[in-house]
Chains A and B, each alone.
Chain A
Amino acid sequence: MTAIDPTAHLTAEQIEELGRELDAIRDEVLADRGEKDAAYIRKVISAQRKLELASRGVLLFSIFPPAWLLGTAGLSVAKIMDNMEIGHNVLHGQWDWMRDPKIHSTTWEWDHVSPSEQWKHSHNELHHTYTNVIGKDNDLGYGIMRVDEDQRWHPFHLGQPLWNFINACFFEYGIAAYDLELGKNLRKRRRKDPEFRARARAVGRKIRKQVLKDYVIHPLLSGPSFLTTLAATFTANLVRNLWTHSVIMCGHFPEGVQVFERRSINGETRGQWYLRQMMGSANISGSRAMHFMSGNLSHQIEHHLFPDLPSNRYAEVAVKVRVLFEKYELEYVTGSLPKQVFSAWHKVFRLSLPNRKPKVRTPAPEKELIAA
């Protein structure tokens, strides 16, 4: 957190006006949402399925190196598409308006070890509501890291670059554990809670299915290519994990992103909620392909402002949102993928050590304003 509040220059009236302007941007998209958008998501889903089928087909012959490379690359991309542009966004309810039971947040399941039901709770309800509020939003370091000076240091954090790297490699398992709130629930008292046990069993079942498919059935189907297909699916999962972890780190960890105190959100108005999302998220700039492969989470700011708008609309929304940032003299945190990944990792390293100077806790003016 910066000591100087970057929103201090805004009056309460201005913040509400900002909220109204953002509502208007949202309404414009809603009024225009229709056939083309539906065609878009169906095309993406169809392309993903064909790519996955083709890649797994090629991997039946993965004993031949070119087939291995091609199949692994294809499967990696298919898994990323499934998790990002399709899974994440469908589970947000971005496509619920189509009323297609096959593309609906309540029926969708993704190629991921965390069951969609649990992920929706921890992600949609907790993270998106309490974005960047210390003590409320566990996405701030996933409970294993310190990503802001205002989070209390613990010797455990000395190892956080390593924890983060391990988490990146096995990111889907990290998310499953996180959705289960494993850290909290493994304590003795909670371990026997029937609700937790039911959820843990659901995760167990999902893991079993995923592992069976990727590491047993498809390798077996490959016959003589058993080992190479096993290596291919493992690699594809690893690539997917590293990629999604990188994209998601860039959403809230880069320098310049603000965090908020727990009490600052008491009685928060719609305008203030919008402002928190604007200041608490960071974008990634890049090509259309990069935006697509990130599931349009490269438009993290727009996604946090309007989590249920179809992802294919974030690019056009971003143009209008950026104008508002300029109008209200706010910093639009964005940068290329390498720059933002470096920035986030830099923070992970820097904050593994305690703060240099004990920070003087003066209530920043912005906090007063938001609490008002």
Chain B
Amino acid sequence: MALVQLKNVSLKYHTLEGEITALESINLSVEPEEFVSIVGPSGCGKSTLLSLVAGLLQPTTGEILIGGEPVRGPSAKVGYMLQQDYLYEWRTILDNALLGLEIRGTKTPETVAEVKQMLQDYGLGGFESYYPHQLSGGMRQRVALIRTLAIQPEVLLLDEPFSALDYQNRLAVGEEVVRILRERRKTVIMVTHDIPEAVSMANRVIVMTPRPGTIQSEHRIAMSSAGLTPLQTREHPAFRKYFTAIWKELNVYA
């Protein structure tokens, strides 16, 4: 059964100038452990879609189910990674990683120990009492990932999570994040405008139309499903075919 289901979801914004339909009749099912990327022209509502799944916004019509239950607000089943790490500069690395547990009231010696173990496992051992500005961009992004994983979400929502990193780091951090998420058997929905990034990481790429955002097409990516890492996928002969097909679809709107 699908872990995340969007059924006929629409969203309208109201401003003094009028009414804007941001998303229209979105139907999407995401299977457990699937990695779905959503690409689309800017302003198509792809980030809004993540806010809906995260429970930060309520759809105007339609329904969103996670594990069969309707989303009514932010839930511990869902972890959200934003465009930048947004680490709090007044907290140490450990305290930043513990933020979600603190807010959810689930900070116990056991969960703290788990977070410390994750910091250790992902190359941040010994940095627990450092402050964010003392870390590199890639390390900060890993802290943000650990902060998200700490609440043990089943579904991760990634909103252009590598856009703040330079190209060199973006590939390295992307490779690492995908490895971690696969290891932990997480279900992922990632929004990006970077087609190669979408193709290299996802099992499935969803292409959206401009506003009002609807789903235009989907592409199943064979390489990720076969267990190739993002960098291996980028070297695969089929990579360019996927890229060109998606690029052409999006280029209609450019």
A and B: interacting chains: no
